[in-house]
Amino acid sequence: MSNSKIIALAAVVSSALTLQVARAADLPAPYFKAPPMVEEFGGWYLRGDLGWSNQEVKSLWNVLYNTSTVTNLSKGFEVGGIFGLGVGYQFNNWFRIDVTGEYRSGSTFHGLDRYVGIGFSGTDEYTAIKSELLFLANAYVDLGTWKGVTPYVGAGVGFSRNTISNFLDVNTPNLGVAFAAPASKWNLAWALHAGIGYKVTPTFMIDLSYRYVSLGSALTGDLIAWDGTNGTVNPMHFRGLTSHDVRLGVRWFFDEGFAPPPIVRKG
């Protein structure tokens, strides 16, 4: 091929390349589309709680009440501590569940009864210590989030192991004293929750809550008189135990939520 033909072919190729580059410059450049914004939620979490209980008992009963008329003058518990741990799962931005276990420390009980029978009467002044192990499965509905604050409501059901210890019955008018050995009883328990959570970081939340919990009942060992006699099976029954609890807790989430991967578009 002659030099003139080679030069002409090179010119044609060069013109074609220049035209393709010019056309490519006019096309939009590929770009990455940002992932859609999603509200952070989801996954497993751990929780820990500290709190205080304000407990009540509906009534006391003993087999000896069948032989006399008993009028309750006072009954109530001192404040007790609550120490709890749990694990849960956040399904979406409004529904979650958890399972909790807690130790409810000893709360001192004070009670006073007046009794009247055939040919006898008097008063009984009671003291005791009550504690529990409480296990609940709970479900919650989060009611929306405003500036990191999320109010919620919930309910739970489970079991409570109620223990009565250090029970003492002092009958001052008749110079009588009775005591009972410690005893424990398992019961069905249920709870209603209301609270607010504040998200400090995507994986850490502070939780302030109120809880009403029904603990079932409890009983002591058999009452034994000061001289070592009792004569019958006669534990003291604590019926209708409930508590108004205030708790301050934290929740640690294992992850920050989920967002779809980025989408690549051309043209």
How large is the average pLDDT for residues 105-134? 91
Q: What is the pLDDT of residue 266?
A: 46
Percent of the chain with pLDDT over 90: 61
85: left (phi over 0), alpha (psi -120 to 50) or beta: beta
Q: What is the pLDDT of residue 152?
A: 98
Domain ranges of the chain: 43-253
CB-side exposure of 233: number of CA atoms within 13 Å? 1
pLDDT over threshold 70, residue 23? no
Distance (Å, whole) CA 11 – CA 17: 10
Count CB-CB contacts under 10 A for residue 56: 13
Count CB-CB contacts under 10 A for residue 175: 9
Strands 183-201 and 204-225, by their bridges, are: antiparallel
How large is the average pLDDT for residues 200-226? 94
Topology given in CATH for the domain delimited by 43-253: Porin (2.40.160)
More confident residue, 160 or 261: 160
- Could you give the C-alpha distances from 39 to 36, 252, 256, 257, in angstroms and in order? 10, 17, 10, 8
